[in-house]
């Protein structure tokens, strides 16, 4: 990711929507490391969105996948 990403706060509903989209895209794609990342996050948080990586920071920047997608969309 490097230092090129934005540090703007992501709105909660936007962050959760992006998280859901990414999880759907990664579902059943065991050959991608991003799929394993989502699987682990979902599994260990037992599907509780408030405990998932994306919610681990107050600005909803706790997941690198969500951050990257958000930054691509706003730039």
Q: For residue range 10-51, what is the model confidence (pLDDT) as tens digits?
A: 999 999 999 999 999 988 888 888 899 999 999 999 978 889
Residue 20 belongs to some domain of the structure: yes
The pLDDT confidence band at residue 58, using thresholds 50, 70 and 90, is very high
Positive or negative CA dihedral for 22, 14, 54, 69?
Answer: positive
pLDDT at 41: 92
Residue 51 lies in a domain: yes
Q: Which residue has the higher pLDDT, 47 or 72?
A: 72
pLDDT at residue 55 greater than cutoff 70: yes
What's residue 3's pLDDT? 42
Overall domain count for the chain: 1
Domain extent at residue 54: 12-74
Report d(CA 41, CA 25) in Å as an integer.
Answer: 15
Indicate the burial class of 68 (C-beta count within 10 angstroms; 0-12, 13-18, 19 or more). middle
Nearest to 63 by CA among 4, 29, 5, 31: 5
Residue 12 parent element (H or E): helix 12-26
Domain assignment present for 29: yes
The whole-number pLDDT of residue 6 equals 52
Instruction: Answer whether residue 43 is part of any domain.
Output: yes
């Amino acid at each position: 990711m490097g230092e090129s990403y934005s540090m703007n706060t992501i709105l909660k509903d936007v962050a959760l929507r992006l998280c859901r989209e990414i999880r759907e895209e990664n579902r059943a794609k065991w050959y991608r490391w991003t799929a394993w990342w989502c699987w682990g996050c979902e599994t260990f948080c037992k599907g509780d969105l408030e405990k998932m990586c994306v919610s681990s920071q107050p600005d909803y920047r706790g997941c690198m996948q969500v951050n990257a997608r958000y930054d691509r969309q706003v730039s």
